[in-house]
């Protein structure tokens, strides 16, 4: 196994008794990059030594709370050509994982009649944190784009590389890595949409250029780049982005751009008012100040009334 000193900040350590619950709560399984068992208390992580160990741990964590059969795990580790003693070899890998995981009270991996099951208990995963933050960020894009950029930025900062890095050979890990990569791209698209809504179009052009080059079949990224360029006063370049998208789609998939991207082309050609950057929402400070002043006046009046009544009580004694 490999011990890592991770750079992600750890919460302040608190004094707790050495119970299984405390161990679970301090443990986080990280899959958004190298597969690591992270200790929040010490700020360090332990990575399984080999790709089969990493794939086994990742598969069990992804399916935590559900049994994975011996056959599925054998296929995950060895594919279509498992060794003759595959069940015994799998059992050995499970035993090594048990020694790797924090002990003292919590049974992480259970052996069942036909397979194995990992119980998270109070432990967490970076995948769950990413899912929660990105969902909150996407929901905030229309009404509060600044908050959306903050939440989505936190979600994307959890990524330390490709999902399930060095573990994606079998069907379980490959499918999960593909799913997570799709969620990451969706979060990126929401982040740049929120940035556009905040008026930060000039700042994101370069990022979107790189993303469209890396994902040439993703129409939403072209759409966002066209809007950013148009708002920078670069209409001809925005039109060029559409042509680039069209060439990639026709050459690779044999299809024309979809309705959304075609509508964006028409909007750019016709200088549609909807392309104009929306003015960021600003609170009505005058009204807010008036409300606060009313509240202050009321508190002053209440204080004067209270002092008057106290004075009357003293006089009556």
Mean pLDDT of 156-179: 93
Instruction: Tell me what pLDDT residue 20 has.
Output: 54
> Which of 49-53, 70-74, 121-125 is modeled with the greatest confidence?
70-74
Predicted confidence (pLDDT) per residue in 60-101, tens digit: 999 999 999 999 999 999 998 999 999 999 999 999 999 988
Mean pLDDT of 218-228: 97
Q: What band does 211 get if pLDDT is binned at 50, 70 and 90?
A: very high
**pLDDT at 123 exceeding the cut of 80:** yes
Q: What band does 8 get if pLDDT is binned at 50, 70 and 90?
A: very low
**pLDDT at 306 exceeding the cut of 70:** no
Distances 304 to 13, 147, 251, 298, 316 between C-alpha atoms, Å: 48, 41, 80, 10, 19
Instruction: Output the pTM of the full model.
Output: 0.78
Instruction: Tell me what pLDDT residue 107 has.
Output: 86
Instruction: Tell me what pLDDT residue 292 has.
Output: 63
The two three-digit tokens of residue 203, written as one number:
């700042």
Polymer length in residues for the chain: 317
H/E stretch holding 19: none
Mean pLDDT of 6-27: 51
**pLDDT at 241 exceeding the cut of 50:** yes
**pLDDT at 16 exceeding the cut of 70:** no
DSSP 71-108: HHHHHHHHTTS--TTHHHHHHHHHHHHHHHS--SS---
> CA–CA separation, 30 vs 45, rounded Å?
9
**pLDDT at 197 exceeding the cut of 70:** yes
Predicted confidence (pLDDT) per residue in 92-108, tens digit: 999 999 998 877 667 89
Mean pLDDT of 225-246: 96
H/E stretch holding 158: none
Instruction: Tell me what pLDDT residue 309 has.
Output: 63
Contact present, 90 and 60 (Cβ < 8 Å): no
**pLDDT at 193 exceeding the cut of 50:** yes
Contact present, 178 and 167 (Cβ < 8 Å): no
Mean pLDDT of 198-216: 95
**pLDDT at 255 exceeding the cut of 80:** yes
Q: What band does 284 get if pLDDT is binned at 50, 70 and 90?
A: very low
**pLDDT at 225 exceeding the cut of 70:** yes
Mean pLDDT over each residue of the chain, to the nearest integer: 86
The least confident of 38-52, 138-152, 285-299 is: 285-299
Instruction: Tell me what pLDDT residue 296 has.
Output: 74
């Amino acid at each position: 196994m490999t011990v890592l000193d991770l750079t992600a900040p750890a919460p302040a350590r608190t004094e707790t008794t050495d119970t299984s619950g405390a161990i679970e709560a301090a443990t986080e399984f990280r899959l958004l990059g190298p597969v690591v068992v992270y200790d929040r208390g010490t700020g360090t992580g332990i990575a399984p030594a080999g790709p089969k160990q990493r794939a086994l741990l990742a598969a069990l964590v992804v399916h935590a709370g559900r049994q994975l059969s011996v056959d599925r795990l054998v296929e995950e580790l060895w594919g279509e050509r498992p060794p003759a003693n595959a069940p015994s070899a799998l059992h050995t890998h499970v035993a090594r994982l048990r020694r790797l995981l924090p002990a003292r009270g919590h049974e992480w991996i259970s052996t069942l009649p036909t397979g194995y099951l990992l119980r998270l208990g109070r432990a967490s995963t970076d995948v769950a944190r990413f899912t929660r933050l990105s969902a909150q960020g996407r929901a905030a894009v229309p009404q509060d784009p600044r908050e959306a950029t903050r939440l989505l930025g936190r979600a994307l900062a959890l990524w330390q590389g490709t999902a399930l890095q060095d573990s994606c050979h079998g069907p379980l890990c490959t499918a999960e890595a593909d799913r997570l990569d799709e969620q990451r791209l969706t979060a990126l698209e929401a982040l740049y949409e929120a940035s556009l809504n905040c008026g930060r179009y000039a700042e994101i052009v370069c990022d979107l250029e790189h993303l469209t080059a890396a994902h040439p079949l993703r129409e939403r990224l072209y759409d966002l780049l066209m809007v950013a360029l148009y708002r920078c006063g670069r209409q001809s370049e925005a039109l060029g982005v559409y042509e680039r998208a069209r060439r990639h789609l026709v050459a690779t998939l044999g299809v024309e751009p979809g309705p959304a991207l075609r509508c964006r082309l028409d909007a750019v050609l016709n200088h549609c008012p909807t392309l104009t950057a929306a003015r960021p929402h600003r609170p009505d400070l005058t009204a807010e100040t008036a409300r606060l002043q009313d509240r202050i006046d009321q508190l002053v009046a209440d204080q004067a009334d209270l002092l008057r009544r106290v004075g009357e009580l003293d006089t009556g004694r």
